[in-house]
């Protein structure tokens, strides 16, 4: 006999697959008072640092970068202090883009971009009335979240936009009806007026895997 907890879990699965005739039959097993019951999953957490491999030195080839990154994100990357130093030294690659690769398959990748003109980036991506400030992992730093989903496609380009959209965190946000704002994009700053910062993204495993295999071949 199916208990109430199992019935609620079953409804959460069935609610996302209503077109399947077999699942419609299973749905009828649940009592009437549970029909329409909203099941909430916990927010997908990030893993601890020890559960990622870190890729740091990627290609700086313009044609390769343009495959994955829009002109807009590349502009802010080029304005970073690190990139300016690399160009003066004529370094063939770049450490402006760091990727944390999960050791567990199908978990989200984490991408970190060194960026300049951080205040312009914030104005473009983060609506003033939706911004949320939280402590960062580093002392004396903080993170800004609350990026506008509407602006992400134009800012990041089709590849990164889709990669963000396929992350476990973004899928959870959509289940929770968070259609306008996302926490998959954040900026880490030293203080509220910093001109330089780190743009952090959570992206899905499938597209993240393809991106890493191309960017970090040098």
Judge if 14 and 104 occupy the same domain: no
E strand or H helix at 133, and its extent? strand 132-135
Judge if 77 and 173 occupy the same domain: yes
Count of CB atoms situated within 10 Å of the CB of 41: 11
Question: 134 vs 126, 142, 185, CA distance in Å?
Answer: 14, 6, 13
CA 29, CA 118: separation in Å to the nearest integer?
54
For the stretch 21-41, pLDDT in tens is 655 565 566 566 555 556 688
Judge if 67 and 124 occupy the same domain: yes
Q: Is the pLDDT of residue 14 over 50?
A: no
Mean pLDDT of 114-133: 96
Question: Which residues form the domain of 18?
Answer: 4-34
Please identify which residue in the block is written with the tokens 């989200």: 108
Q: Is the pLDDT of residue 20 over 90?
A: no
Judge if 100 and 174 occupy the same domain: yes
Judge if 72 and 95 occupy the same domain: yes
pLDDT at 32: 62
Q: How confident is the model at residue 141 (pLDDT cuts 50, 70, 90)?
A: confident
Q: Considering the domain boundaries, does residue 110 fall inside one?
A: yes
pLDDT at 41: 87
Question: 99 vs 8, 64, 79, 112, 203, CA distance in Å?
Answer: 38, 16, 19, 6, 10
Judge if 20 and 104 occupy the same domain: no
CA 141, CA 134: separation in Å to the nearest integer?
9
Q: What are phi and psi of 146, to 5 degrees?
A: 105, 40
**Domain total of the chain:** 2
Judge if 27 and 125 occupy the same domain: no
For the stretch 148-189, pLDDT in tens is 999 999 999 999 999 999 999 999 999 999 999 999 999 999
Judge if 94 and 162 occupy the same domain: yes
Spell out where 26-108 has E strands: 52-55, 58-59, 93-94, 97-102
């Amino acid at each position: 006999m199916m208990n109430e907890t199992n019935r609620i879990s079953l409804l959460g699965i069935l609610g996302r697959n209503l077109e399947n005739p077999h699942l419609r039959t299973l749905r009828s097993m649940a009592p009437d008072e549970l029909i329409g019951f909203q099941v909430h999953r916990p927010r997908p957490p990030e893993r601890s640092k020890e559960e990622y491999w870190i890729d740091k030195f990627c290609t700086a080839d313009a044609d390769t970068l343009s495959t994955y990154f829009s002109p807009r994100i590349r502009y802010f990357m080029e304005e970073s202090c690190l990139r300016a130093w690399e160009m003066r030294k004529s370094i063939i690659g770049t450490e402006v883009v760091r990727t944390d690769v999960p050791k567990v398959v199908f978990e989200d990748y984490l991408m970190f971009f060194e960026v300049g003109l951080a205040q312009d980036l914030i104005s473009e991506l983060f609506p003033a009335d939706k911004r949320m400030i939280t402590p960062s992992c580093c002392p004396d730093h903080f993170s800004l979240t609350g990026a506008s989903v509407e602006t992400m496609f134009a800012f990041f380009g089709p590849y990164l936009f889709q990669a963000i959209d396929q992350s476990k965190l973004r899928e959870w946000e959509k289940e929770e009806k968070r259609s306008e704002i996302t926490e998959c994009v954040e900026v880490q700053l030293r203080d509220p007026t910093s001109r330089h910062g780190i743009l952090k993204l959570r992206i899905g495993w499938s597209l993240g895997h393809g991106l890493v295999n191309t960017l970090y071949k040098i």
